[in-house]
């Protein structure tokens, strides 16, 4: 087995590395990695319905989509991520997390942490979640990966993933919010996340009969950086790849109540309708024509709105009020 540590904390590179190693290599792999502050959404999720855009933009938190299913998770440097990639026989292609999580549980037990497998894909301590896991297949290879909440900031986790469910109507997989805890709170002897990383590596090295931790080659890094640029860091993948959804929001401005309903497909606004008790000198549906065909993205819509006289469509309404209506 090839055992790797990813040196970067860039979520786009790290997720690209997983996909590259799954599809472009042939050996079994175990790796550990960390992401700087980021929200990682599942393969089949509506990104905007999973994250609080106002909070993550204010905090500089990145949003990235992974290739596995499941729900959205928050990453920071208090979180450690692990990945197993293995070759399997055709008859082994089944969703079974136990075999991959067993060595992780054993490593936690060695530290006196009473972790246990729970539900369909979680690790918990006394009923509180410390790890969420997901899986995908490519030909006769499987990728299983998960989070390990070691000393993550609970407040950031809660706020980054807090979205009003009434704003969206879609068929995307919705995240189930669980009570969480940090592994560091359950240790008999305190340790840092880096010491915890080293402990996990040593446990896997012994289990696999290995002696060293590897790094990606220069050739692999170049290929992964190219994929990260062309796919993983793009709006098309992280937002545009969301399932079709309807967006509904209401706000009160100095000019009255404005309600908007939008249909969005592949991240592009298809239809817009306005309702409310506002006054206007121009028909708001004329404004809607400027929005249809645009990305449902704050930066893009801000550029469109700055070119329009919003107060003529919605009396006593500022461009900022209107932008928040469409994106907050």
- Asked whether residue 74 falls in the same domain as residue 135, the answer is yes
Query: In this predicted structure, what is the pLDDT of residue 171?
Result: 55
Identify whether the C-beta of residue 221 lies closer than 8 Å to the C-beta of residue 9.
no
Query: In this predicted structure, what is the pLDDT of residue 166?
Result: 57
Domain end, chosen from 238, 260, 285, is at: 238
Q: Would you place residue 116 in the very low, low, confident or very high pLDDT band (cuts 50, 70, 90)?
A: very high
Domain end, chosen from 217, 238, 259, is at: 238
- Asked whether residue 217 falls in the same domain as residue 262, the answer is no
Query: In this predicted structure, what is the pLDDT of residue 97?
Result: 86
Structural domain of 283: 245-327
Place of tokens 């993983």: 232
Q: Is the pLDDT of residue 145 over 70?
A: yes
- Asked whether residue 192 falls in the same domain as residue 298, the answer is no
Place of tokens 């037990």: 109
Each residue of 186-203: pLDDT tens digit? Answer: 998 999 999 999 999 999
- Asked whether residue 72 falls in the same domain as residue 149, the answer is yes
Each residue of 81-104: pLDDT tens digit? Answer: 999 999 988 887 777 888 899 999
- Asked whether residue 33 falls in the same domain as residue 109, the answer is yes
Domain count along the chain? 2
- Asked whether residue 181 falls in the same domain as residue 315, the answer is no
What is the share, in percent, of the chain residues with pLDDT greater than 90?
63
Q: Is the pLDDT of residue 286 over 60?
A: yes
- Asked whether residue 270 falls in the same domain as residue 221, the answer is no
The CATH number that applies at residue 249 is 3.30.390.50
Write down the mean pLDDT value for the chain: 90
Cα–Cα distance measured from residue 84 to residue 102, given in angstroms and rounded to the nearest whole number:
12
Each residue of 223-274: pLDDT tens digit? Answer: 999 999 999 999 999 988 888 888 988 888 888 889 899 999 989 999 999 9
Identify whether the C-beta of residue 12 lies closer than 8 Å to the C-beta of residue 62.
yes
* Predicted TM-score (pTM) of this structure: 0.80
Cα–Cα distance measured from residue 208 to residue 197, given in angstroms and rounded to the nearest whole number:
17
- Asked whether residue 159 falls in the same domain as residue 283, the answer is no
Query: In this predicted structure, what is the pLDDT of residue 306?
Result: 94
Between 224 and 160, the higher pLDDT residue: 224
Sheet containing 256-265: order of strands: 168-170, 245-253, 256-265, 268-276
Q: Is the pLDDT of residue 175 over 80?
A: no
Query: Average of pLDDT values for 55-74?
Result: 91
Beta-bridge mates of residue 250: 259
- Asked whether residue 253 falls in the same domain as residue 160, the answer is no
Each residue of 291-316: pLDDT tens digit? Answer: 999 999 999 999 999 999 999 999 88
Identify whether the C-beta of residue 97 lies closer than 8 Å to the C-beta of residue 69.
no
């Amino acid at each position: 087995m090839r055992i790797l540590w990813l040196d970067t904390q860039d979520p786009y590179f790290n997720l690209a590395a997983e996909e590259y190693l799954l599809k472009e290599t042939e050996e079994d792999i175990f790796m550990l990695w960390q992401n700087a502050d980021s929200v990682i959404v599942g393969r089949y999720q509506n990104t905007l319905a999973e994250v609080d855009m106002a909070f993550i933009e204010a905090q500089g938190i990145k949003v990235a989509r992974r290739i596995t299913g499941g729900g959205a998770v928050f990453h920071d440097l208090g979180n450690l991520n692990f990945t197993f990639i293995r070759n399997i026989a055709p008859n082994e292609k089944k969703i079974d997390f136990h075999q991959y999580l067993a060595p992780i549980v054993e490593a936690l037990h060695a530290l006196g942490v009473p972790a246990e497998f729970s539900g369909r894909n979680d690790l918990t301590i006394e009923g509180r979640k410390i790890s969420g896991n997901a899986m995908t297949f490519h030909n006769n290879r499987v990728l299983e990966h998960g989070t390990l909440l070691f000393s993550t900031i609970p407040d950031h986790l809660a706020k980054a993933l807090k979205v009003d469910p009434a704003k969206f109507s879609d068929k995307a997989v919705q995240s189930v919010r669980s009570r969480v805890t940090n592994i560091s709170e359950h240790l008999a002897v305190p340790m840092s996340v880096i010491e915890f990383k080293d402990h996990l590596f040593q446990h896997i090295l012994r289990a696999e009969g290995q002696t060293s931790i590897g790094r990606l080659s220069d050739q692999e890094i170049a290929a992964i950086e190219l994929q990260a640029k062309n796919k993983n860091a793009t709006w098309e993948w992280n937002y545009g790849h969301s399932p079709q959804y309807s967006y509904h929001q209401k706000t009160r401005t100095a000019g009255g109540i404005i309600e908007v309903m939008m249909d969005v497909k592949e991240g592009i606004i298809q239809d817009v309708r306005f309702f409310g008790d506002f006054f206007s000198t121009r028909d708001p549906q004329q404004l809607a024509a400027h929005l249809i065909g645009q990305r449902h993205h704050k930066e893009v819509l801000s550029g469109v709105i700055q070119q329009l006289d919003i107060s003529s469509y919605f009396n006593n309404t500022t461009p900022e009020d209107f932008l928040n209506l469409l994106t907050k």
